[in-house]
Amino acid sequence: MTDNAEQSSQGQTSDKGLLLVAQACNALDFVLSATSNYLDSRDPLFVRLAGQGVALADSTEQSF
């Protein structure tokens, strides 16, 4: 099995599943960052941002 970079360099499209996993990882990183920022600042804005990140991760999971 070739990786996405190799497929791309050969003119093939990237693997959708791997791209979705990467997208979900980015969403979870966003959630963790927002949660950390909330713990540092106690600003409820970061709780709302974390909730939006969870929604994004859920949406990505449903695309699988």
Q: For 3-48, write each residue's pLDDT tens digit.
A: 766 766 777 788 999 999 999 999 999 999 999 999 999 999 999 9
6 in a structural domain? no
Cα dihedral 34/38/39/43 (nearest 10): 170
Q: What is the pLDDT of residue 56?
A: 96
> How crowded is residue 24: how many other Cβ atoms within 10 Å of its Cβ?
18
Domain that holds residue 45: 15-62
Phi, psi of 13 (to 5 degrees): -75, 155
Instruction: Report the number of distinct structural domains present in the chain.
Output: 1
C-alpha distances (whole Å) from 54 to each of 34, 48, 59 are 11, 10, 9
Give the pLDDT confidence score for residue 14 in this predicted structure: 86
User: Could you count the other beta carbons within 10 Å of the beta carbon of residue 50?
Assistant: 19
pLDDT of residue 8: 65
